[in-house]
Amino acid sequence: MSSINQHKPNYSQTGPQDQILDALATAVILLDTDLRIVSLNPASETLLQASIERARGLHFDRLANLSQDWQNLLTQVQSENFATVKREMPLVLHSGAQYCVDLIISPLQPAGESPSLLLELNPVDRLNAISEDAQLREAQASMRQVIKGLAHEVKNPLGGIRGAAQLLARELGHGKLNEYTDVIMEEVDRLRTLVDRMLGPRERLLTRLMNIHEVLERVRQLTEAESGGNVVIERDYDPSLPEFKADPDQLTQVILNITRNASQAMSGEGKITLRSRAKRQYTLGGKRHKLVCCLDIVDAGPGIPNEQLHQLFLPMVTSSTKGNGLGLSIAQMIANRHGGLIQCESEPGHTCFTVLLPMET
Ligand SMILES: Nc1ncnc2c1ncn2[C@@H]1O[C@H](COP(=O)(O)OP(=O)(O)OP(=O)(O)O)[C@@H](O)[C@H]1O
Ligand SMILES: [Mg+2]
């Protein structure tokens, strides 16, 4: 059983005169003299979680919780008619979302009135996150090099050991001692599979133009079937997401590795939410993308301890006696090969893995 909650933002094209504002990563907001919203660029629509259609005409405090500091700043700029800059200003939305922004407020003076205001907001959390992304990528790239070298050293002798055990088994005939050669061969095979998994998926992506919801639906069916119906997937898809070029089989593996963990964390029963959204003008791996596909996989399990969060995507990090701690490192590797990234936020009762993928066409 699953439920569907559809969300339809507007991705229509803007005219050439709006191209600069559209492309800005800085959120730009124009308020009239009564602090009502006149205009928002796409970055501020994302930041304030409101489309311009919904926000136009609303007082700014209907979207954001205007603390005394905010109110003082806005009134100060209007009365002094002088621009001001404020670093690391907290911004809290009524939805509960919190940001820390670098803020510039400039007055736009119409004759004889108190000025309307132009606000420029740069979320600093996002800037920090970009440098963390870069560090994570570097750590993973060097880890991958080590694994490659190690895998090569381990796999070669394994072939020799297996061959020798086979010869020995043949010499021994069908006696009781064959149990021992069987154990050697089984363990060699297990090690080889482990090393192959550590090396990760095939390097070459088989990309084609695909609809991400096909992937999510495949994962939904598999996860619900694997749990015997005890895990319910709630779908919160944005059906207006355009198709983009990616490897659907490998992306299925990414989402499946994450949902399997979620299902294991909830002891095989509970609700997992699959959410799809688009983000505009988003930086991934040091590259700005016009449109990025943002997939959230949310579970209500016990959460991931803070000290584990920082190492989550490194191979061999596991709390499970059965797992190898490879699922997430493989998922991250595949996302990276698509030019994307996986992030995680977790607290008890709410764990959210976010897969970000550039929507290349
Ligand atoms: N949704 C989640 N809730 C709680 N803990 C999680 C969640 N997802 C991952 N983890 C933790 O992260 C660890 C690493 O996950 P990962 O998928 O990489 O390895 P694994 O599940 O242990 O083994 P494998 O996937 O190789 O079978 C898990 O063992 C678990 O401790
Ligand atoms: Mg796993």
Q: Could you report the per-residue pLDDT of 294-350, keeping only the tens digit for each?
A: 999 999 999 999 888 878 888 777 777 777 788 998 898 899 889 999 999 999 999
pLDDT at 35: 93
- Spans of all domains in the chain: 20-123, 129-199, 208-358
Nearby residues of 294 by Cβ (< 8 Å), 6 or more positions away: 276, 277, 278, 279, 354, 355, 356
Is residue 49 very low, low, confident or very high in pLDDT (cuts 50, 70, 90)? Answer: confident
Average pLDDT over residues 205-225: 94
Report the pLDDT value the prediction gives residue 132, as an integer from 0 to 100. 63
352 DSSP assignment: E
| Weakest-pLDDT range from 130-134, 219-223, 253-257, 302-306 | 130-134
pLDDT surpasses 60 at 168: yes
Written as one letter, the residue type at 7 is H
Between the CA of 359 and the centroid of ligand 1 the distance, in Å, is 27
Say how far residue 74 (Cα) sits from the centre of its chain: 34
Grade residue 253 by pLDDT with cuts at 50, 70 and 90.
Answer: very high
- 79-125: pLDDT as tens digits: 888 899 988 888 888 877 778 888 999 998 765 667 899 999 988 76
- The angle, 0 to 180 degrees and rounded to 10, between the axes of the packed helices 212-226 and 248-265 is 40
| CATH superfamily membership of 20-123 | PAS domain (3.30.450.20)
What residues line ligand 1, using a CB cutoff of 6 Å? Answer: 257, 261-262, 265, 299, 301, 304, 312, 317-320, 323-329, 351
Note the pLDDT of residue 133.
66
C-alpha to C-alpha distances, 15 to 20, 54, 164, 198, 360, nearest whole angstrom: 10, 20, 71, 48, 22
Q: What is the mean pLDDT of the chain?
A: 85
- Distance separating alpha carbons of residues 101 and 123, to the nearest angstrom: 4
Confidence of residue 16 (pLDDT cuts 50, 70, 90): low
Residue to mutate, 263, 310, 328, 351, ligand 1, most ligand atoms under 8 Å from C-beta: 328
Ion ligand 2: protein residues whose beta carbon lies under 5 Å: 261, 327
Which residue from 311, 318, 329, 334 has its CB within 8 A of the most atoms of ligand 1, so it is best to mutate? 318
For a pocket test of ligand 1, which of 194, 196, 233, 261 has the largest count of ligand atoms closer than 8 A to its C-beta?
261
Is the pLDDT score of 14 beyond 60? no
The pLDDT of residue 185 is: 93
pLDDT of residue 257: 95
Q: How would you label 184-204 residue by residue, b for 16+ Cβ within 10 Å and e otherwise? A: bbeebeeebeebeebbbbeee
Show the tokens assigned to 301: 């399990």
Give the pLDDT score at 297.
Answer: 98
pLDDT tens digits along 232-243: 999 999 999 999
Whether the predicted pLDDT of 13 surpasses 60: no
Give the integer Cα–Cα distance in Å for 65 and 105: 17
pLDDT score at 10: 45
- How many A from CA of 322 to the centre of ligand 2? 10
Q: If you ran DSSP here, which 8-state letter would residue 320 be given?
A: -
Q: Residue 358 phi/psi, 5° resolution?
A: -65, 140
Distance 331 CA to ligand 2 centre (A): 10
Q: Interhelix angle for 327-337 vs 124-172, to 10°? A: 120
The CA 327 to ligand 1 mean position distance, Å, reads: 7
pLDDT at 282: 83
Strand partners, 232: 271
Give ∠ CA 57-62-68 in degrees, rounded to 5.
120
Residue 8 has pLDDT above 80, yes or no: no
Distance CA 117, CA 11 (A): 27
Q: Distance, CA 46 to ligand 2 centroid (Å)?
A: 32
| Position 5 pLDDT exceeds 60 | no
Q: How far is the CA of 314 from the centre of ligand 1 (A)?
A: 11
For residue 130, give the amino acid letter: I
pLDDT in the model for residue 125: 65
- For the domain bounded by 208-358, which CATH number is listed? 3.30.565.10
CA-nearest residue for atom 31, ligand 1, is: 319
Does residue 288 carry a pLDDT above 60? yes
CB 27 within 8 A of CB 120: yes
Report the pLDDT value the prediction gives residue 4, as an integer from 0 to 100.
Answer: 43
Task: Dump pLDDT digits (tens) for 123-135.
Answer: 876 655 665 666 7
Q: How far apart are CA 271 and CA 345, in angstroms?
A: 17
What pLDDT band is residue 360 in, cutting at 50, 70 and 90? confident
